Amino acid sequence: MTTSKRTKSLSLTTSKDTRLANLFPFGLVLPAVVILALVQIYPTLYSLYLSTTRMRAGKLTSVGIKNFERLLASSDFFESLQRTVVFAGSYLILTVVLGLILALLLNRRSALTPVYLVMVFIPWVLSDVVSGTIWRWMFNQSYGLIQVALNPLLDNKSILSNNDTAMMVVIAASVWRTLAFTALLFLGALQTIPGEVLEAAALDGANRWQSFWRVTFPMMRPTLLVVILITSIRGINSLGLILSTTSGGPGAGTTTAAVYLYRTAWQFGDFGVAAAMAVFLFIVNLILTIFYLRVVRVENNL
């Protein structure tokens, strides 16, 4: 065989090996992606189909975009979106800020740090239903620990019977439940910061706040963005805990979009409109994700 043919044959083999090597990781991931496609993508596409239908006399009939039109004409839906913004926004800010503070405190090692970690984690291991029930009982008018303690100050006003205070309770319950998760992520990020960097900052005369703001916080930014993304999505989709605490009440006082979707589907049986809401929320979550991914990419490129 001439040298050029051998070279050509060698380069063809190398090119094929390279392609196979490049595809190999995707092959490993493929089974998981296929399963996810079956249990997530197919139901999502079915929801999209369902959002264009309506049930009448036991028959599913196509109605085009009418369900979306009904949704956009519904004051209940827009009010639920407003409540979602209030709930998710408050939940996000409190969870991130308090999670960060908690992580900073836990990062100061002490003999009791393992005990504190366990205490912080207890809410995280409880289910939404159990957590919500605990909070509902704590504010029960007759025997709730917190309600009864506050009765003299509140002139016996029921906290769960007022829209504003009921919303505060569900936000507090949600933050309490998720704090451990965000604190843990922040704690992990804090522990990857090299000690020498902080020492160098101290040697340069930076005080504690300056050290945190100029050194620690910038290095935690990627983790912060991930936490914000996950917490935002969780806030928008939160359902179990709100239902367990207030059932979306009083009236519709804590009925967020997710709760309204649940009611429309499972209480009223209007699956077409509920599916339309699900599509809407999916788009909102997707936009948020793309936005955050772009911010992360910009951060990485800086």
Partner 1 sequence: MNRSRLSTLFGLLVVCAMILSACGGSATEAPAAESEAPAATEAPAATEEPAATEAPALGPITVWTKFNDASPQNAQDEWLKAMLASLKTDTGLEATNVVQPHDQINAKLNLAVQAGGDVPDVSYMDSQFVGNFYQNGTVMDLTDYVKSAPWYGDINQAALAMCTGPDGKIYCVPANTTNRMMYYWTSDFPNGFPADTDAFLVETARLKAEGKYAITFKGSEAFASDVLYFQLVRGFGGRYGDENGKVAWATPETVKAVEFIRTLFAEGYAPEVDLAAGFDFENPYKDASAASLSAGSWSYVFLNPITAPDGTVFDNGAASVEEAMKAGQLAVAPPLAAPGGKAATSVNGSAWAIPTGSKNVEAAQAFINYQMDAKRNADFAVGYGGLPVLNSAFEDPRFSSVYWQAVIKNLNDNGAGSDPIVNFDQAMTKFADTVVKLIQDPSLDIMTELQAAQDEVNASQ
| 43 phi-psi bin (left φ>0, alpha ψ -120 to 50, beta other) | alpha
Closest to partner 1 by CB, 186 vs 262, is 262
Confirm or reject binding of residue 214 to partner 1 (CB under 8 A). no
Positions of E strands within the chain: 53-56, 59-62
For residue 146, the minimal CB distance to partner 1 (Å) is 14
* Burial grade of 285 (CB within 10 A; 0-12, 13-18, 19 or more): middle
Q: State yes or no: residue 185 binds partner 1 (CB under 8 A).
A: no
Q: How many CB atoms lie within 10 A of CB 180?
A: 20
Confirm or reject binding of residue 222 to partner 1 (CB under 8 A): no
Q: Please identify which residue in 68, 87, 181, 271 interacts with partner 1, judged by CB under 8 A.
A: 271
Say whether residue 89 binds partner 1 (CB under 8 A).
Answer: no
CA dist 170 and 91 (Å) reads: 9
Residue 250 preceded by cis peptide, ω within 30: yes
Residues in 3-32 at the binding interface with partner 1, rule: CB under 8 A: 22, 26, 29
Q: Which of 12, 41, 115, 119 binds partner 1 (CB under 8 A)?
A: 41
Choose between 144 and 211: whose C-beta lies nearer to partner 1: 144
* The binder of partner 1 chosen from 37, 65, 97, 119 (CB under 8 A): 37
Check: CB of residue 276 under 8 Å from CB of residue 68: yes
d(CA 299, CA 160): 43
Hey, what are 265's tokens?
């589907």
Q: Does 250 bind partner 1 (CB under 8 A)?
A: yes
By C-beta, is 123 or 132 nearer to partner 1? 132
Q: Which two tokens stand for residue 92?
A: 């996000």
Please report how many Cα atoms fall inside a 13 Å half-sphere around the Cα of residue 244, on the Cβ side. 19
Q: Quick one: which of 289, 291, 294, 299 contacts partner 1 (CB under 8 A)?
A: 289
Counting contacts by CB under 8 A, is residue 34 touching partner 1? no
Angle in degrees, 0-180, between the axes of helices 221-237 and 271-301, rounded to the nearest 10: 170
Q: Which positions touch partner 1 (CB under 8 A)?
A: 22, 26, 29, 33, 36-37, 40-41, 43-44, 55-59, 70, 73-76, 128-129, 132-133, 136, 140-142, 157-158, 160-163, 230, 233-234, 237-240, 243-244, 246-253, 258, 262-263, 266-271, 273, 278, 281-282, 285-286, 289, 293
